[in-house]
Amino acid sequence: MADAPHPFSPLTPDEIRAAAALARTADGADGCRFIAIGLDEADKEAYHAWVDAGGPRPARRARASVYDAARQVREITVDLDAGSVVADRLFPNAYPPITPDEYVAVEASVKADPKMIAALAARGIDDMGAVQIDVLASANMGHPLDGRHRYARAVPYLRGPLGMNSYARPIESLLALVDLDTHEILAIEEYDTKPIPAADGEYRTGTLPARTGVKPIAITQPEGVSFTVDGNRVRWFDWEFSASLEAQDGLVLHDVRFRGRRVLHRASCAEMIVPYGDPHPMHNWRTYFDAGEYGLGACTNSLVLGCDCVGEITYLDAHLAAGDGDVVEIANAICLHEEDHSLLWKHTDHATGNVESRRARRFVVNSMATVGNYDYAFRWNFGLDGHIELEVELHGIISTMAHTEGEDLKGTQLVDEGLSGPHHQHLFCFRLDLDVDGPRNTVCEIEAEPVPTGPDNPEGNAWRSKTTVLRTESEAARDANDHLARQWYVGNPHERSVAGAPRSYRIVPMHGVTPLLARPEATIYRRAGFGRHTLWVTPYRPDERNAAGTYPYGRVDQDGLPEWTAADRGIEDTDIVCWYTAGVTHFVRPEDWPIMPAARTGFRLEPAGFFDRNPTLDWPASEAACCHRDG
């Protein structure tokens, strides 16, 4: 089967349709609605037996997440080679995420509801065409509807002329509670009515004078690119990996290798939350799980050359399932490109006058998801020296609320006349199935430790690195500490470097890392327990995939990482998964309005004894500039 797809190639459109047809043959699934259909990933041992030892190719399987006629969430696994159903798992008391077709249906229901029409008329609004409805996940905070309905909160905004930024004009203290299954308006809630702000929210091309005198920067590669793409398998110098898009996780990397050596089996965003800090009942329920309640892949954009990606670009399209089992194509969902990245290394020898310098470049794998008012760019950056950097760029428009003069701002900040934005957090949990030189790894925490002043440190200047082996899940629930330069080494204890230490990669925090700020009694503290710590480490379990559980919509009880790690399983010298939470604590400022400059967060995976010396000594000096000069 020379034409058989790579085991980590995403499902083709024909495979998605075939999987849907097979899933419908399961008992009680005939009238189901599809939440997602994706690759059921090959068993890890079977995959490596195939790719590393020439064993049989793993069976091609798909997993269909469905919402059946009994309003139950099920995952039906089908064997595409055999044409059969091989598993059917029920998720009791689970709700599926909001789907794109539900946004449209809910907005139409809200705009047609007599009570909503009357409430808007009381505020001087009688043109429903000028009203924008944001359909938002309900959270679960003790409302009488919780547990009885799968519902969303529908929040209205007033659009200005010609599609002006509606977030400039929130229709404050009015919302509808809508059953997502029936589109029935369950309730209209009103609080203290406030005037609609008269803020100016324009930022679009043609609505503001454009700066002149900006000279173009041209990025060209006249001899072509230095990478190849075979399906979704990418090769760039010493790196090789697969890249694809999944409905919930968004951008996913598989089987990442450097010079053929294993580094990562799988990497993805396992969940992200956006909890808001304003206590008003119009806003205190806003705690969005952008992966589990909306779907980072389902919300992914088609990228635009020259804007989202610049240079010599190769794009990968993505194919997801619609609710009826047909195919939705996202053209240009992932972009691949090289970019210049400052210096790789340099030294000037003053004794000889010799200067050696090498330009760095990096390889970028990028996708972008828009979830409501925010846009998130997920960039995996690969370096020539063996490092991997995950960078999340945050773009978009802040959430807004009407503000009256003299009103206590509480957890908000004024950004325009009569308009404020609530402070909030963005916490991204990444699941890193690290297999550093093989599956048996151990995690050590490394931090700086000042040596007490005394005979061994008479001047008080000495410090050393302190190493702590993390042997159980409870020991590995750790927090970043910039004061101690805390890092975590993931190494193979059976492979040693020239220094005698395990061949390792280290996890290095980037930017400040603030854990979840909600108090322990808050509902979100239970629902998003992964945000309590920067790092978690678990033994590898293929069904432990999402940091807050697979289906967090409306769930009130604890699930995901805190639930799994309560068993306090051993994690030493075994196949482990690291979970890293990066984040932005967003103190809103006037400069964030009407559209915010990019904010960034992320982390780095750096080789630490993975090589015996600098792996880029063979990198050539640039021919385009003076990167080498003898004295």
Return phi, psi of residue 73, to 5°: -90, 125
Q: Please answer whether residues 94 and 73 qualify as being in contact, where contact means their C-beta atoms are separated by less than 8 angstroms.
A: yes
> Any residues with CB less than 8 A from the CB of 242 and at least 6 apart, and which?
6, 8, 9, 232, 233, 234, 253, 254, 255
pLDDT of residue 96 exceeding 50:
yes
Alpha helices by DSSP H, listed for 86-241, are: 100-112, 114-121
Mean pLDDT of the 503-532 span: 94
548 close to 273: Cβ distance less than 8 angstroms: yes
Does this model's pTM top 0.75? yes
How confident is the model at residue 1, as a pLDDT? 44
Token reading at 283: 């806003």
Least confident span in 419-433, 480-494, 506-520, 583-597: 506-520
Q: What was the pLDDT predicted at 624?
A: 58
Say how far apart CA 253 and CA 269 lie, in whole Å: 10
Name residues whose C-beta falls within 8 Å of residue 173's C-beta, 6 or more positions apart in sequence: 190, 191, 192, 193, 194, 282, 402
Can you give the C-alpha Rg of the chain in angstroms?
A: 26
Which two tokens mark 535?
């790092």
Domains of the chain: 13-91 (3.10.450.40), 100-190 (3.10.450.40), 227-608 (2.70.98.20)
Contacts of 38 (CB under 8 A, 6+ apart): 10, 11, 62, 63, 246, 247, 320, 321
| 340, amino acid identity | D
Please report, as a single letter, which amino acid is at residue 561: L
Comparing CA positions, the residue from 433, 388, 438, 496 lying closest to residue 262 is: 438
151 is catalytic: no
pLDDT at 582 over 90: yes
237-240 contacts, C-beta under 8 A, 24 or more apart? 237/363, 237/384, 238/384, 238/386, 238/615, 239/363, 239/382
Residues 287 and 139 sit within 8 Å (Cβ to Cβ): yes
- Beta strands 355-371 and 374-383, pairing class: antiparallel
% of the chain exceeding 70 in pLDDT: 98
* pLDDT score of 629: 54
Catalytic residue check, 374: yes
DSSP category for residue 69: T
Q: Of 423, 367, 373, which is closest to residue 391 (Cα–Cα)?
A: 367
Per-residue confidence band for 139, with pLDDT thresholds at 50, 70 and 90: confident
Mean pLDDT, range 260-286, rounded to an integer: 96
The whole-angstrom separation of Cα 508 and Cα 484 is 12
Helix (H) or strand (E) segment spanning residue 46: helix 44-53
Q: Using 50, 70 and 90 to split pLDDT, how confident is the model at 129?
A: very high
From residue 165, give the alpha-carbon distance in Å to each of 158, 161, 488, 571, 595.
Answer: 9, 9, 44, 50, 10
Question: Given 374, 376, 540, 551, which residue is catalytic?
Answer: 374
- Taken in order 257, 560, 480, 492, the sign of the CA dihedral is negative
Cis status of the peptide bond prior to 594, with omega within 30 of 0: yes
Q: How much is the average pLDDT of 128-132?
A: 95
| Per-residue pLDDT tens over the stretch 320-342 | 999 999 999 999 999 999 999 99
Binning pLDDT at 50, 70 and 90, where does residue 520 land? Answer: very high
Average pLDDT, the chain: 95
Tens digits of residue pLDDT in 341-359: 999 999 999 999 999 999 9
Bridge partner list, 345: 358
- Structure tokens that stand for 362 in this block: 């990096």
* pLDDT band (50, 70, 90) for residue 307: confident
Which distant-in-sequence residues (6+ apart) come within 8 Å of 570 by Cβ? 471, 472, 539
pLDDT digits (tens, 9 = 90+) for 26-55: 999 999 999 999 999 999 999 999 999 999
Asked whether 219 and 311 are in contact (CB, 8 A), the reply is yes
How far is residue 176's CA from residue 119's CA, in Å, rounded to a whole number?
11
What percentage of residues in the chain have a pLDDT greater than 90? 89
Mean pLDDT in residue range 100-104: 92
State how far the Cα of 173 lies from the Cα of 195, in Å rounded to an integer. 10
Which residue out of 68, 134, 249, 290 is catalytically annotated?
290
In one letter, which amino acid is 548? A
Q: Which residue has the tokens 């009942």?
A: 281
Query: What φ, ψ does residue 295 adopt, rounded to 5°?
Result: 100, 110
Q: Is the pLDDT of residue 367 over 70?
A: yes
Please state the φ and ψ torsions of residue 612, each to the nearest 5 degrees: -95, -10
pLDDT in tens, 168-179: 999 999 999 999
DSSP H or E segment with residue 319: strand 314-321
**CA dist., res. 99 & res. 138, Å (int):** 14
**Residues 382-410, mean pLDDT to the nearest whole number:** 96
Which residues lie closer than 8 Å to 22 by C-beta, 6 or more apart?
62, 64, 76, 78, 80, 83, 84, 85
Residue 505 in contact with residue 489, Cβ under 8 Å? yes
